[in-house]
Amino acid sequence: MRAERLHADDTTVPVLAKGKTDTGRCWIYVRDDRPFGGTDPPAAMFYYSRDRKGEHPQGHLAGYAGILQADAYDGYNQLYLAGRQPGLIWEAACWSHGRRPFFVMADIEENARRKATGKKEIPLSPIAIEVVRRITVRDRALHQWQECRGASGGAADAAPPLRG
């Protein structure tokens, strides 16, 4: 797939096997540059594998060079090596995956549910609570900014870069 940037993800899929159900993987690669002023139509590619070995995304993306937004799965790491041919792939870390551990370590509501059912409470991190507070403030500001700008579908609607 020709694209300046791709989003990659994988998910489990049930696979019928002799007398049982196995778990396979569905690998998805998506292109949609319309928010960045691109003119190519959106596209998605799907691949299947019996396991989650890193050789699969490495094979799927063997001819790709550009930006790859993906989770922190180790199987992508070989793609980000300097000197890779046919060209460099730049890692664009996934915001959802990057912030998830902070939300887990600051989940006050989950702790309240655990306490109410007599389960052991999870230690909360004051640092994680502050990170979640800041992320929430930033998310609200971003949504308000997008609402004020309207939704014309062009590059002007792209989110401002995250800073600090």
CA atoms within 13 A on the CB side of 102: 16
CA atoms within 13 A on the CB side of 104: 6
DSSP letter string, 54-65: THHHHHHTTT--
According to DSSP, the β-strands at 89-93 and 43-49 are unpaired
The whole-number average pLDDT for the span 9-32 is 96
Tell me, what's the pLDDT at 160?
Answer: 56
CB 56 within 8 A of CB 75: yes
Tell me the per-residue pLDDT of 70-91, one tens digit each, with 9 for 90 and over: 998 999 999 999 999 999 999 9
